[in-house]
Structure 1
Amino acid sequence: MSIKIYPLQFEPILKDRIWGGEKLNTVLNKSITSKITGESWELSTVEGDVSVVANGELKGKSLTELIDKLPNEILGEAVYARFGNQFPLLFKYLDAREDLSIQVHPNDQLAKERHNSFGKTEMWYVMQADTDARIIVGFKEDSSKEEYLDNLNNKTLVSILDDVKAKAGDVFFLETGTVHAIGAGLVVAEIQQTSDITYRLYDFDRVDAQGNTRELHVDLALDAINYNKVDTHKKYETTPNKSNVVVDCPYFTTNFIPLDGTIEGNKNGNTFTVYMCIEGAFEIRYENVTYQYKKGDTVLIPAAMRNYVLNGSASILEVYIS
């Protein structure tokens, strides 16, 4: 099958959430239509939420369709050998007008046994933060199942969890089992394994417009939680025009590129690459064609694109599978 390979953008999949707001429009220029849009899924093959190409000759094609037809060209030889036709990552932007629920994600083994799914290791890059915005990440001190349940039942869970102020540019890496919540006033870029498995522990007793509370998953979460104190805040270099490593884990590598001018992308065909534009604007030049991107855009570079040029003034997250 003859298909022209080029940088692929996808239609955002917008999700209303009880905690969502309007910053995905005001900060990231997404065409939202509600006042409670919490998430923009930029790149997804989660069942029922599969991304569709928004640009070029392949416009209207789904990501799963492209992978089925061109697995090595899209995913890369090493990624295809490891994951088959599955796209292993999920990319999102989130707007938290209110606190998200306190939650946890299972590891690969539990997720496979219970849900036939990947686990959900993830990272957050804070794009915008209101004054005094914070996140919850893990326990203040090493805890236990008994202490956790006692505080959960007494509605004092927040008192034993680590509450961390967050500002633009902060990165938090959350391994599976880390109890967490994004706090109100944050816009976040999220990179995670392809999984939509979340165990909700506590939701601050809030109700939706119909007066209903959201489902909790207390029993499922008990064996998924890491009860030890964890260090989630990642420090990283910001050398201009260079891929500065932020997170390097078995599931993905994320680099921070402060682009000011031109750099070359030279790839080996083993993995796809994704760029998330988190500030400014840039372009990709490939085979004498120029593709333009701005803050809030996400672009998939198929593995078959070996050589291209990035040019502009932007802060970019570069993500691939090592």
Structure 2
Amino acid sequence: MLYPLKFNPLFEERIWGGDQLRRKMDKKLPEGKLIGESWELSAVPGNVSVVANGKLAGNSLEELIEVYMGELVGDKIYNKFGLLFPLLIKLIDAQDALSIQVHPNDKLALERHNSYGKTEMWYVIDSEKDAELCLGFNRPVTKEEYLRHVADGTLADILARMPVKPDNAYFIPAGAIHAIGKGILIAEIQQTSDITYRVFDWNRVDKNGKGRELHTDLAADAINFAPDQHYDVTHKPEMNRSVNLVECPYFTTNVIEVKGQLVRSYEALDSFVIYMILEGNLTLKWNGGSETAVKGETILIPACIEQVTLEGEGKLLEIYID
């Protein structure tokens, strides 16, 4: 019988990373490395998650889908994606600013990389004073104007900057130019894709004096220049209620604060459910057992589990495909 599954995190070293994942999310990071990302649940080739708990420990996510199919992910999802788990779930520690970048949509990603595109969302777990994001342009911009600013190194001058604080949430569709600023800890939900077109990296170089590769030509055709795009999807969490943040074709994300007991019913949902525990200490109970869930953990609820009772006190993101 399937049960709520935990996975071994995959830690990714980044030039802009730090140690917030250890200090604030209780991750056991490798010593002496700048860890920018913890891939909590991944089916990206070469970085496939492996189960950490219970009788299925040691099995990869792909192996589980091959055996359990719709029982694990939902029949409609299995029929569409096969052995590919459709979401990539991360925790991101931006000790320094990330590059200004853009991701292709499904059509462009298929043509260029035989891959899905990358629509994503961010939930701010913590942030330093005066931290900010770059999301979209600060005024209507044509492709020609954009290219001029890229060429003369002034791209940052035309980007919209948004101050952030904990519990802010943002939806970033494929084609939106963006950058995470320094001093921000984020939960990221995205399509299963690792395609990033880096446009500007703040003139940063590594210890050998070498800058990271830029993809300015590829990015120019991927950016959506439509004006008045809306990215902020912040809604205040409510006690013992599921508050919707994002509902799109790729994923639905809700935020839930729990105190005492909360029953979540998924009988009508033909999908897996993911819990990202942002705060606190919870116990998950279902017909067949129970499992602890603490800050920093991500848990995959198989589609065959129709009801989960959450007990304790904490805050989590609830993610599924509707």
- The one of 13, 25, 28 aligned to 1:28: 25
Does 12-21 or 259-268 show the bigger shift? 259-268
Partner of 2:101: 103
- One-letter code of the match for 1:312? G
Partner of 2:44: 46
Q: Assess if the C-alpha contact under 8 Å between 2:277 and 2:295 holds in 1.
A: yes
- One-letter code of the match for 2:161? D
- One-letter code of the match for 1:16? E
- Name stretches of at least 5 consecutive residues in structure 1 with no aligned partner: none
- One-letter code of the match for 2:45? E
- Name stretches of at least 5 consecutive residues in structure 2 with no aligned partner: none
- One-letter code of the match for 1:265? R
Q: TM-score, normalised by structure 1?
A: 0.97
Partner of 1:264: 263
- One-letter code of the match for 2:140? D
- One-letter code of the match for 1:242? R
Deviation at 1:260, TM superposition (A): 1.2
Q: How many residues align?
A: 319
Partner of 1:309: 309
SS in 2 for 1:293: strand
- The one of 5, 9, 12 aligned to 1:8: 5
Partner of 1:134: 132
Within 5 Å, give how 1:1-322 maps onto structure 2: 4-33=1-30, 34-229=32-227, 230-268=229-267, 270-287=270-287, 289-322=289-322
| Distance (Å, rounded) in 2 between the aligned partners of 1:266 and 1:227 | 40
SS in 2 for 1:234: coil
- Once the two structures are superposed, what CA deviation does each residue of 1:126-161 show, in whole Å capped at 9, x if it has no partner? 001001010000000110111111111111110100
Deviation at 1:287, TM superposition (A): 3.2
- Once the two structures are superposed, what CA deviation does each residue of 1:68-123 show, in whole Å capped at 9, x if it has no partner? 11111111112112222221100000000100000000000000110011100000
- Once the two structures are superposed, what CA deviation does each residue of 1:249-298 show, in whole Å capped at 9, x if it has no partner? 01000011111111112213510000001111211012353211111110
| Distance (Å, rounded) in 1 between the aligned partners of 2:219 and 2:288 | 52
Q: Assess if the C-alpha contact under 8 Å between 2:167 and 2:234 holds in 1.
A: no
Deviation at 1:303, TM superposition (A): 0.4
SS in 2 for 1:204: coil
Deviation at 1:237, TM superposition (A): 4.5
Deviation at 1:308, TM superposition (A): 2.4
Q: TM-score, normalised by structure 2?
A: 0.97
Identical columns (%): 47
- Once the two structures are superposed, what CA deviation does each residue of 1:145-188 show, in whole Å capped at 9, x if it has no partner? 11111111111110100011111000010001000000000000
Q: Assess if the C-alpha contact under 8 Å between 1:237 and 1:245 holds in 2.
A: no
